[in-house]
Amino acid sequence: MEELQARIGQLKPGGSTGAPAAEFEQMLAEWRPNEMSGDIGGARPFNPFGGGAALQSSHLKPLIERAAGEAGIDAKLLEAVVSAESGFDPRARSRAGAMGLTQLMPDTARSLGVTDPFDPVQNLNGGAKYLAQMLGRFGSTELALAAYNAGPGRVEQAGNQIPNITETQAYVRKVMAYYQGAPS
């Protein structure tokens, strides 16, 4: 555990002096989220992502770029969605049941082939694929984001407009601010 903790502390994928993305992905592959999620004898086991704390966006950048590239979407947009959805916390869970970095709902995750929504690689790949589907379906970044948040049916019911849902309107503004580099 100490070795893994030391490796994580030093790991900076993609940087000129940091570890390559492949080493980071190997570390993620070795991590067993289900074994690390509970208390053992009253003590929390070491969690490479902290006690529910978020990863830095720079740690996820290679994974975000790969998932976005495979889905044919802008990596900066996917990063903005991850920032708004989970704050880069791979263990995030919403009250509604959305899970992981891109906050996939269970049925959506299954339909995208995601078997472990708390696995960063699977979750990013699923979220990128879903976002690509919404971009293709609605042809606009703002409408795709509204559909990602509220569901495509609600966007269609609103006449292919952002639905009159306060949360969805705020979500679209927030993600677009992140995407365009402005603070929200």
Task: Based on the residue annotation, tell me whether 23 is a catalytic residue of this protein.
Answer: no
Quote the CA–CA distance of 124 and 29 in Å, as a whole number: 14
How far from each other are the two terminal CA atoms of the chain, in whole angstroms? 37
Quick check: helix, strand or coil at residue 99?
Answer: strand
Residues 6+ apart with CB under 8 A from 141: 77, 135, 176, 179
* Rounded-to-integer distance, Cα 23 and Cα 12, Å: 10
Choose the catalytic residue: 23, 85, 142, 156.
Answer: 85
Please tell me the distance from the alpha carbon of residue 85 to that of residue 60, in angstroms, as a whole number. Answer: 14
Angle at CA 126, nearest 5°, toward 60 and 56? 15
CB-side exposure of 164: number of CA atoms within 13 Å?
Answer: 3
93: phi then psi, degrees, rounded to nearest 5: -145, 130
Active-site positions?
A: 85
